């Protein structure tokens, strides 16, 4: 266990926002059951979960392969998305942005639009069943060429009114500079698509500088190694960039040795805009409520911190302003009366 959370509040019933979670890292056992695989909990964890401590981000990414192998058909994609929304709802999440790379789900012969049709069907079914709201972020991948990634940007534009809210750059940043896909994100900006990008996790401040300058994102996935550079911290704050922080995931992939070493509390106290996220709910067996319990136990966070960062998540969500007011009101109602 990363942190012993004995004695901490449960947090399950408090409303939450999740901006950084990957579909292919969050294949629910209930989805496998619906797909005809009656796998038990022990085998599920053995096959689909990464080690509690991975030697590198690449080791962690390799652990996603069994989930990806399942998610190659329209029924699997539809059911996986619906079951993920059910899991989010049971965790108190009221709005989520779920990301995935459509071009990694074509192994069964699906075209990109067929992938999107299956995922958005699952999204709609999940939202109807649970009452929560969610959007999709389509991922370009660092280890893919611009020729492979550009169709994903155009796909996001075509499906923008059918569930897609933005685009992302994901993958192993240590071995694959973002500069190679600069043209891909120039295209995203031309089309008016909101952009987030992974940086500052497996690589240090230089990766953040590259992404900020070349891709011009509104948000940064992880970004935690900004703590290593006062200049980068100042620029992130000056530009009002939002950090999608996933503490347990960062520990799991070996960015920090222990939860108490994670800079999330420092970043919070220095006034950076940030949200708390899981990154994964299967490859790292996690819920947002458990992440909150770890923050409460390790750093003494209470309702005030959690409310503030959830409100920041809403402020930086890729949603119309008209939809943000209602989410903010629900957060204040759910957290405001608590100490």
Domain ranges of the chain: 16-334
**263-298 tens-digit pLDDT:** 999 999 999 999 999 999 999 899 999 999 999 999
Catalytic one of 97, 201, 210, 291: 201
pLDDT band at 174 (very low <50, low <70, confident <90, very high): confident
Q: Using CA atoms of 288, 293, 296, 299 in order, give the dihedral in degrees to the nearest 10.
A: -80
Confidence at 172, pLDDT banded by 50, 70, 90: confident
Q: Which of 31, 25, 81, 21 is nearest to 48 (CA)?
A: 25
201 is known as an active-site residue: yes
Q: Residue 313 and residue 95: Cα distance in Å, rounded?
A: 10
Query: Residue 173: what pLDDT?
Result: 85
The 10s digit of each residue's pLDDT in 47-72 is 999 888 887 777 777 889 999 999 99
Indicate the pTM of the whole model: 0.96
Question: Is it true that domain 16-334 has CATH number 3.40.50.300?
Answer: no
For the chain, what percentages of helix, strand and coil (3-state, to nearest 5) are there? 55, 15, 35
């Amino acid at each position: 266990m990363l942190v012993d959370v004995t004695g901490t509040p449960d947090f399950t019933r408090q409303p939450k926002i999740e901006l950084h979670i990957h579909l292919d890292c969050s294949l629910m056992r209930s989805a496998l059951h619906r797909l005809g695989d009656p796998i038990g909990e022990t085998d599920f964890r053995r096959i689909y979960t990464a080690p509690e401590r991975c030697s590198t981000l690449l080791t962690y990414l390799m652990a996603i392969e069994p989930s990806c192998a399942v998610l190659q058909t329209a029924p699997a994609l539809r059911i996986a998305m619906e079951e993920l929304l059910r899991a989010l709802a049971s965790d108190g999440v009221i709005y989520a942005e779920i990301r995935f790379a459509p071009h990694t789900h074509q192994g069964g012969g699906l075209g990109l639009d067929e992938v999107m049709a299956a995922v958005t069907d699952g999204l709609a079914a999940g939202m109807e069943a649970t009452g929560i709201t969610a959007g999709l972020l389509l991922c370009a991948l660092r280890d893919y060429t611009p020729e492979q990634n550009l169709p994903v940007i155009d796909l996001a534009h075509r499906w923008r009114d059918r569930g897609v809210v933005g685009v992302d750059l994901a993958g192993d940043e240590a071995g694959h500079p973002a500069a190679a896909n600069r043209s891909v994100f120039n295209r995203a900006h031309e089309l008016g698509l909101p952009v987030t990008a992974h940086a500052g996790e497996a690589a240090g401040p230089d990766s953040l500088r590259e992404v900020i300058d070349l891709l011009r994102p509104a948000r940064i996935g992880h970004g935690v190694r900004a703590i290593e550079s006062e200049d980068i911290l100042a620029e992130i704050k000056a530009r009002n960039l939002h950090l999608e922080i996933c503490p347990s995931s960062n520990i799991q992939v070996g960015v920090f040795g222990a939860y108490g070493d994670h800079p999330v509390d420092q970043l919070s106290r220095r006034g950076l805009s940030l949200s708390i996220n899981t990154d994964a709910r299967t490859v790292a067996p996690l819920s947002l409520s458990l992440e909150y319990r770890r923050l409460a136990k390790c750093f003494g966070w209470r309702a005030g911190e959690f409310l503030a960062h959830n409100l920041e998540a809403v402020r930086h969500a890729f949603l119309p302003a008209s939809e943000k007011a209602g989410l903010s009101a629900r957060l204040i109602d759910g957290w405001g009366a608590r100490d």
